[in-house]
C-alpha cells in the first residue's frame, strides 16, 4: 500500500507535471510557430538547442541548471536581485528544470503540426481579410489539434518520469521537491522493495495508459518522436 510520503510525492509530481505542461504550451506555441515558418539562419541553432535535452544525460543538464541558477550563476544573481532568492532546492526550481527538460516533447509535435498545415488555409483566411490573430485562433489551432494533443500528453508524461534533472535541481526535500521518481530511489536505497514496486509499477501502468490513450485518440496524428512533416505537405515561410 502507498505510504503518506508516497502519496505526497504523487501529488507533488502531478502538480509539477500539470504546471510544466501549461507553461510549455504557452512558451512552446510561438517558438514552434516560428521554427515551422522561418527562413532565418537562426533556425538550425535554435532547433538544436530545443532538441538538446533529448541527447544530453539528465544529470548533465541538471548540473548546469544548478550552476546557472545557483547563488553565483547569472540566473541566480538575477533572481536574487529581484528579491526571489535562488531557485535550486525549491519547487520553482523543479518547474524551471522540468520546462527545460521537457521542452522538445512539446515544441517538436507542435512544429510538425504547424508545418503540416501548409499555406493554403492561411492564404484563404487572408483573402477573407482575417487578421493574423484571427487566422491563428480560428484556422491554425483547430488544424493543429492533433499536435497539441500529442504535445500535452508527452509533455505531461515526460515530466512525471523525470529523475536526474529533478534530483540535481531540487534535491530530496519531503513535500517540497521529492517527486515520485526520487521517492522510488529512496525506497530502493532503504531496501524497501515492496513499496518501490508499488510506485514503479504505477509509473509503468501510467506510461502505458498514456501512450494507449494517445494512439487511440490520435491514431493518424503526431507521434511521440519527430518524423517530420506529413507526406505531400508544404511549409509556409516568413522572414
| Bridge partners, residue 38, by sequence | 238
Residue 102 domain-assigned (yes or no) = yes
Residue 222 domain-assigned (yes or no) = no
Residue 68 domain-assigned (yes or no) = no
SS3 track for 179-210: CHHHHHHHHHHCCCHHHHHHHHHHHHHHHHHH
C-alpha cell at 176: 517540497
Backbone φ/ψ region at 88: left (φ over 0), alpha (ψ -120 to 50), beta: beta
Look up the CATH number of the domain holding residue 127.
1.10.3720.10
Alpha helices in the chain (DSSP H): 4-37, 43-55, 58-69, 74-81, 91-117, 120-127, 132-135, 141-143, 145-160, 164-170, 180-189, 193-217
pLDDT score recorded for residue 220: 59
pTM to 2 decimal places = 0.86
Contacts 24+ apart (CB under 8 A), 17-21: 17/98, 17/156, 17/157, 17/159, 17/160, 18/156, 19/95, 20/95, 20/98, 20/99, 20/102, 20/155, 20/156, 20/159, 21/102, 21/106, 21/152, 21/155, 21/156, 21/159
pLDDT score recorded for residue 2: 64
Determine contact, residues 99/208, Cβ cutoff 8 Å: no
Residue 30 domain-assigned (yes or no) = yes
pLDDT tens sequence across 19-62:
999 999 999 999 999 999 999 999 999 999 999 999 999 999 99
Residue 38 domain-assigned (yes or no) = yes
Residue 82 domain-assigned (yes or no) = no
Domains in the chain, number: 1
> For residue 186, how many other CB atoms are within 10 A of its CB?
18
Rounded to the nearest angstrom, the gap between the alpha carbon of residue 230 and the centroid of all alpha carbons in its chain is 23
pLDDT tens sequence across 91-111:
999 999 999 999 999 999 999
pLDDT score recorded for residue 21: 96
Q: What is the DSSP letter of 73?
A: S
Residue 226 domain-assigned (yes or no) = no
How far, CA to CA in Å, does 192 sit from each of 55, 188, 189, 226? Answer: 32, 6, 8, 38
Domain that holds residue 205: 4-60+87-217
For the chain, list residues with pLDDT below 50. Answer: 222-239
Q: What is the DSSP letter of 136?
A: I
pLDDT score recorded for residue 3: 76
Amino acid at each position: 500500500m502507498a505510504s503518506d510520503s508516497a502519496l505526497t510525492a504523487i501529488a507533488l509530481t502531478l502538480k509539477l507535471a500539470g504546471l510544466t505542461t501549461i507553461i510549455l504550451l504557452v512558451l512552446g506555441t510561438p517558438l514552434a510557430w516560428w521554427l515551422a515558418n522561418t527562413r532565418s539562419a537562426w533556425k538550425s541553432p535554435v532547433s538544436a538547442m530545443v532538441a538538446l535535452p533529448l541527447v544530453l544525460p539528465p544529470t548533465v543538464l541538471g548540473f548546469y541548471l544548478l550552476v546557472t541558477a545557483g547563488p553565483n550563476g547569472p540566473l541566480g544573481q538575477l533572481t536574487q536581485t529581484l528579491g526571489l532568492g535562488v531557485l535550486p532546492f525549491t519547487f520553482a526550481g523543479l518547474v524551471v528544470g522540468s520546462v527545460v527538460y521537457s521542452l522538445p516533447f512539446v515544441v517538436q509535435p507542435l512544429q510538425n503540426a504547424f508545418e503540416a498545415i501548409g499555406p493554403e488555409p492561411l492564404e484563404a483566411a487572408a483573402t477573407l481579410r482575417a487578421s493574423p490573430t484571427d487566422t491563428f485562433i480560428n484556422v491554425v489551432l483547430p488544424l493543429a489539434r492533433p499536435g497539441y494533443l500529442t504535445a500535452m500528453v508527452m509533455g505531461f508524461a515526460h515530466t512525471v518520469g523525470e529523475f536526474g534533472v529533478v534530483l540535481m535541481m531540487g534535491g530530496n526535500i519531503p513535500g517540497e521537491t521529492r517527486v515520485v521518481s526520487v521517492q522510488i530511489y529512496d525506497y530502493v536505497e532503504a531496501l524497501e522493495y515492496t513499496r518501490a514496486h508499488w510506485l514503479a509499477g504505477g509509473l509503468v501502468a501510467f506510461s502505458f495508459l498514456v501512450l494507449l490513450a494517445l494512439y487511440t485518440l490520435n491514431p493518424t496524428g503526431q507521434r511521440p518522436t519527430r518524423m517530420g512533416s506529413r507526406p505531400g505537405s508544404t511549409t509556409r515561410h516568413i522572414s
